Chains A and B, each alone.
Chain A
């Protein structure tokens, strides 16, 4: 029976026979969607006397909010840090492919680069919503160049920078524009970082601590100035020490301002973080855990050798090595693998695993009322709502409201 069109002419789709992740639990409820928004069916019934135009049977699958990947450097041969002419095509290509992993929004990440690269790449991609064509872009994640030489990891040393006086202005010279930037990773021990952290936070940009040799009090100071994220916890920072826990200590610090949460990125691919370490972090601060892929160009490519830029990479299973060596060259895990792995090694519930990849990153970026949740009024459109993934006893369904069903098998 069609809706009586008193509020809107748009068709209403009702997903039945499903479990919805809502209010931190899996509920046996139908999901109602119209024009990309999730409807309150009770309001629809009493106010509009409306019904579904179309019913989709989900076969008992879970409907969960789409995953949000806040750290992804590229994939399928595309490298976001390359200053090419068609950056936006590359971003769109990756955006479409990662839909298959359940990712519906992401932050294309640029590693430490010279100013020319930022000036060329940043203006080519704007924040935009996704759709059937691909995941939405929430803004760039600029990982560097204001990071520690000691903890640079794979970042090129010659492009590292320190803050000159004039803090934010200098940053603007390097990056060119901050209009479509969602996250900046920096090392807080660099002199002059405090005012930068404060000003970036005030502009609504998420400041993340990473590639840093900061001690705990420097990290806490940065949090007080507005920093709210830790880039790939444990990696590229001082290891936990019982007399100075360093950045890792933020997970249980008592100097975090009231009402604020420090989130931390976790690469749960089974390779970059030992499962025991993952469990320690999760148990210490479960509500701050944000799953990230930190995927590199080689993600999504078939096993074997690939030449990517100046490097030759060899993919064996879930590992990507510098060809001919056993040196890891980055992560090639997909987000659904990370969610599955996280659930498996932490023993957490299905909803916690799903929330670590959806609700928590949405809360981190301050977009949680609209994304990361299946509450009434939330975005439900192809880019934002999805479902998914496969656990041994659970089938996954990618069920875009207006597209045919696809299933990811176990």
Chain B
């Protein structure tokens, strides 16, 4: 694992965005070679999305040959509801960049056969050649996507009933009214994310600190599903100071000491003629 510790939310967002930018540029996507990106929703990645949009607007990055797969979507929420994950992705990312609609994939929580939708999503990922980089967040209860505590660590895309903690955490997006929050969601499984070539988890804020501690300093445990990535060969955790508050001083010092090495990963690429 690489643990990247930045001073604050904005720096963490920028580091993550630069990392994604560099990965895409190094891959050199083209019409026959798409870069596949797994994407999260929520407040944590907003800063990262803003930065990626900035890189697109500056002409440094194009999403023309990028395919995206979102982690999850609520069940039963109308697609154009302002809190649906479709709306989130449109308003916070897709509408500002040059990605083609047919290259975006978000689970449809309004189909008649939810499990068939999940199976088809898995097939689409396989058809796209698997995911190069899966970006995710972590819930206060240590979940990745909607893989709530107790989810199988080898699970695949499926329907999940949301935990009370998650519903309460999401209530702020529904006027604080618990009754308005959807109780079920479609989500990629832990196993689905583990299949990605590389996984990057964004964790910011003191309220996520305990989950980060459980995820990286304790054992692999299905009660803290993000811990599964201890067994992935290429995982990066990008966090701010506040998120490290529950970690051992030794852990934090070790990884901070590595920043000069890790920062090489986000250096601006050598200038070259702009593609597209």
Give min CB distance, A45 to chain B, whole Å.
5
Say whether B101 contacts A49, CB under 8 Å. Answer: yes
Say whether A46 contacts B95, CB under 8 Å. Answer: no
> What's the Cα separation between A48 and B100 when bound, in Å?
11
Say whether A1 contacts B100, CB under 8 Å. Answer: yes
The verdict on B87 contacting chain A, using a C-beta distance below 8 Å, is: yes
Complex contacts, B94 vs chain A, CB 8 Å: 45
The verdict on B79 contacting chain A, using a C-beta distance below 8 Å, is: yes
Say whether B101 contacts A42, CB under 8 Å. Answer: no
Partner of A46, one of B90, B91, B100: B90
Say whether A50 contacts B101, CB under 8 Å. Answer: yes
> A38-58 vs B: 1/0 string, CB under 8 Å?
001111011011110000000
Give min CB distance, A331 to chain B, whole Å.
44
Looking across the interface, which residue of chain A has its beta carbon closest to that of B106?
A: A46
The verdict on B102 contacting chain A, using a C-beta distance below 8 Å, is: yes
> B1-25 vs A: 1/0 string, CB under 8 Å?
0000000000000000000000000
Say whether B100 contacts A49, CB under 8 Å. Answer: yes
The verdict on B175 contacting chain A, using a C-beta distance below 8 Å, is: no
Chain A positions near chain B (C-beta within 8 angstroms): 1, 30, 40-43, 45-46, 48-51
Say whether A42 contacts B100, CB under 8 Å. Answer: no
Residues in B69-96 with C-beta less than 8 Å from chain A: 79-80, 86-87, 90-91, 94-95
Complex contacts, A45 vs chain B, CB 8 Å: 90, 94-95, 101
| Chain B residues bordering chain A, tally (CB within 8 A) | 11
Give min CB distance, A46 to chain B, whole Å.
6
Complex contacts, B80 vs chain A, CB 8 Å: 40, 42-43
Give min CB distance, B68 to chain A, whole Å.
13
User: Given known contacts A1-B100, A42-B90, what 14 new A-B pairs fall within 8 Å (CB)?
Assistant: A30-B95, A42-B80, A42-B87, A42-B91, A42-B95, A43-B80, A45-B94, A45-B95, A45-B101, A46-B79, A46-B86, A49-B100, A50-B101, A51-B100
> What's the Cα separation between A43 and B101 when bound, in Å?
11
Looking across the interface, which residue of chain A has its beta carbon closest to that of B94?
A: A45
14 contacts between A and B (CB under 8 A): A1-B100, A30-B95, A41-B95, A45-B90, A45-B94, A45-B95, A45-B101, A46-B79, A46-B90, A48-B101, A49-B101, A49-B102, A50-B101, A51-B101
Give min CB distance, A236 to chain B, whole Å.
47
Complex contacts, B95 vs chain A, CB 8 Å: 30, 41-42, 45
Complex contacts, B102 vs chain A, CB 8 Å: 49
Give min CB distance, B62 to chain A, whole Å.
13
Complex contacts, A50 vs chain B, CB 8 Å: 101
> What's the Cα separation between A51 and B87 when bound, in Å?
17
Most buried by B among A42, A43, A49, A50: A42
Most buried by A among B91, B94, B101, B102: B101
Complex contacts, A43 vs chain B, CB 8 Å: 80
Looking across the interface, which residue of chain B has its beta carbon closest to that of A50?
A: B101
Complex contacts, A40 vs chain B, CB 8 Å: 80
Looking across the interface, which residue of chain B has its beta carbon closest to that of A42?
A: B90
Most buried by B among A41, A46, A50, A51: A46
> What's the Cα separation between A43 and B80 when bound, in Å?
8
Looking across the interface, which residue of chain A has its beta carbon closest to that of B79?
A: A46
Looking across the interface, which residue of chain A has its beta carbon closest to that of B64?
A: A1
Looking across the interface, which residue of chain A has its beta carbon closest to that of B91?
A: A42
Looking across the interface, which residue of chain B has its beta carbon closest to that of A43?
A: B80
> What's the Cα separation between A42 and B101 when bound, in Å?
10
Complex contacts, A51 vs chain B, CB 8 Å: 100-101
Looking across the interface, which residue of chain B has its beta carbon closest to that of A46?
A: B86
> What's the Cα separation between A49 and B105 when bound, in Å?
12
> What's the Cα separation between A384 and B94 when bound, in Å?
29
Give min CB distance, B77 to chain A, whole Å.
14
Most buried by B among A40, A41, A45, A48: A45
Give min CB distance, A306 to chain B, whole Å.
52
**Top 3 A-B residue pairs of the complex, sorted by shortest distance between their CB atoms:** A49-B101, A42-B90, A45-B101
Give min CB distance, B86 to chain A, whole Å.
6
Complex contacts, B79 vs chain A, CB 8 Å: 46
Complex contacts, A48 vs chain B, CB 8 Å: 101
> B81-123 vs A: 1/0 string, CB under 8 Å?
0000011001100110000111000000000000000000000
Residues in B227-264 with C-beta less than 8 Å from chain A: none
> What's the Cα separation between A1 and B86 when bound, in Å?
21
> What's the Cα separation between A40 and B80 when bound, in Å?
10
Give min CB distance, A237 to chain B, whole Å.
45
> What's the Cα separation between A41 and B95 when bound, in Å?
8
> What's the Cα separation between A1 and B63 when bound, in Å?
14
Looking across the interface, which residue of chain B has its beta carbon closest to that of A40?
A: B80
Looking across the interface, which residue of chain A has its beta carbon closest to that of B86?
A: A46
Complex contacts, A42 vs chain B, CB 8 Å: 80, 86-87, 90-91, 95
